[in-house]
Amino acid sequence: MLPNLLAESGVVATELGLALARKGHQVHFITYSHPVRLDYLQKNIHFHEVHVEEYPLFHYQPYELALSSKMYSVIKNYDIDVLHVHYAIPHAYAGYMAKQMLEKEWITIPMITTLHGTDITLVGKSPQKFYKTHRLLLVSTNRR
Whether residue 3 is contained in a domain is answered as: no
Instruction: State the average pLDDT over residues 84-106.
Output: 91
CATH of the domain at 118: 3.40.50.2000
Altogether, the residues listed in the chain come to a count of 144
Assess whether pLDDT exceeds 90 at residue 23: yes
Whether residue 2 is contained in a domain is answered as: no
Instruction: State the average pLDDT over residues 59-73.
Output: 88
User: What does pTM read for this prediction?
Assistant: 0.74
Number of domains comprising the chain: 1
Whether residue 62 is contained in a domain is answered as: yes
Whether residue 1 is contained in a domain is answered as: no
- Which range, of 3-12, 18-27, 41-50, 53-62, averages the lowest pLDDT? 3-12
Q: For strand 27-31 and strand 45-49, is the pairing parallel, antiparallel, or unpaired? A: parallel
Rounded CA separation 136/130 (Å): 10
Structural domain including 87 reads 8-142
Question: What mean pLDDT is reported for the chain?
Answer: 79
Whether residue 134 is contained in a domain is answered as: yes
Task: Give the model's pLDDT for residue 86.
Answer: 86
Assess whether pLDDT exceeds 70 at residue 2: no
Task: Give the model's pLDDT for residue 27.
Answer: 93
Task: Give the model's pLDDT for residue 139.
Answer: 47
Q: Distance of CA 41 to CAs 4, 67, 132, 134, Å?
A: 20, 21, 36, 35
Query: Over pLDDT 90: what percentage of the chain?
Result: 38
